[in-house]
Amino acid sequence: MEVIMKHLYLLLMLVTTSISFGQVAPGDGAFTTFHVKAENPNEYIDFLKKNSQLLGAQNPDVAGTCVTRSGNRYMGEMFVWSAYGNMEDAMENANSFDPYSSPRALQKLRTPMYSSFWKPLKPFVLNPGFERVTRVVVQPEDVQEYVATMAALETAIKKTNPDFELGVFQSFGGGEHENTLMVRGLARSAGEHGSLVDQFFAGQASWASLYQKLVAMSETVSDTYEDCQIIYTK
């Protein structure tokens, strides 16, 4: 009950502050994630690519995978994501998916862990690549300022890295696994992420103060890097 009330309060804060103060409004669309432990992530992804009708059956606009490359909670950590135009479609279509009714060949490739729904809290361009993913705790009364600062950080980084994207997402129905905000920094390569780190520690990042403000406003629960890609388009 405490977690439910926290999410409702957070949602109310986002709606009222964006209307009253004209700050960053929540982004369009919604996502689902299906987290698994894969015996071999590459084999699992190849199977999904060759049997794309399995993803299409849930009627997403776009779908893909993310494989955790650093900071794994367990070996073979990855998930399948699906993008929808709104949360209604995401929940309605995901509700028809039964992972235990999948083809036997697919079941042998992975062990289901959990699933979740996600709502973007700021405009977000879906451009998968090499992504830093942090799960953070932010006080409800600070969320709108946090999201607005994240948007400002994205704008600043884009001056030198025009393809860079930052997303902030709130989970719904993620149980004990997903009860924080999730921040995704999307770059075209692992090297681009490394370059941003080098700029920061060399004192060459014009955006450093914005990043430090975000760190001060939040508590980091986990920090990973993921390799993401699109494998299905409607």
Question: How many structural domains comprise the chain?
Answer: 1
d(CA 226, CA 234): 24
Higher-confidence residue of 97 and 165: namely 165
What DSSP designation does 48 have? H
At 101 the pLDDT is 87
The backbone torsions φ and ψ at residue 168, rounded to the nearest 5 degrees and listed phi first, read: -125, 130
99 confidence band (pLDDT: 50, 70, 90): confident
DSSP 117-133: EEEESS------SEEEE
- Report the sign of the C-alpha dihedral through residues 135, 69, 67, 125, in that order: positive
Cα end-to-end span (Å), the chain: 38
Q: Quote the domain boundaries for residue 34.
A: 2-233
Instruction: Evaluate if residue 20 carries a pLDDT over 50.
Output: no
The CATH number of the domain where 119 resides is what? 3.30.70.100
At 27 the pLDDT is 79
Which parts of 58-109 are beta strand (E)?
62-70, 77-84
pTM, two decimals, is 0.86
71-to-111, 131, 182, 221 alpha-carbon distances in Å = 19, 12, 15, 12
Instruction: Evaluate if residue 120 carries a pLDDT over 50.
Output: yes
